[in-house]
Amino acid sequence: VHCAANPDFKEGVRALLIDKDKDPKWSRSLSECLSPEGRDYIEQHFDNPYSKDAHPLKDWLGADALGAQYVR
């Protein structure tokens, strides 16, 4: 969810699928991602955007489903 909300996702889709120039203009360079601020930026992509009671798949996943413990 976080990746799709990020402007880099749209830029990657544009470069690969729309313009097909394969030359994305990323919002950060690799060296910027290695700084403490850059690492925080990357880590935010792995935060769960849903509270345990508000996950949209909580009623759909069975207790034995892979990852079910993260949505219950």
What's the pLDDT tens digit per position in 11-64?
A: 999 999 999 999 999 999 999 999 999 999 899 888 888 777 787 777 776 777
For residues 2 and 41, give the distance between their C-alpha atoms in angstroms, rounded to a whole number. Answer: 11
6, 45 contact by CB (below 8 A): yes
Which residues, at least 6 apart from 8, have a Cβ–Cβ distance to it below 8 Å? 24, 26, 27, 28
Cα R_g (the chain), whole angstroms: 16
Residue 2: band (very low, low, confident or very high) from pLDDT cuts 50, 70, 90 = confident
Which tokens go with 38? Answer: 């850059």
What predicted TM-score, i.e. pTM, was given to this entire model? 0.60
Domain ranges (residues) in the chain? 2-70
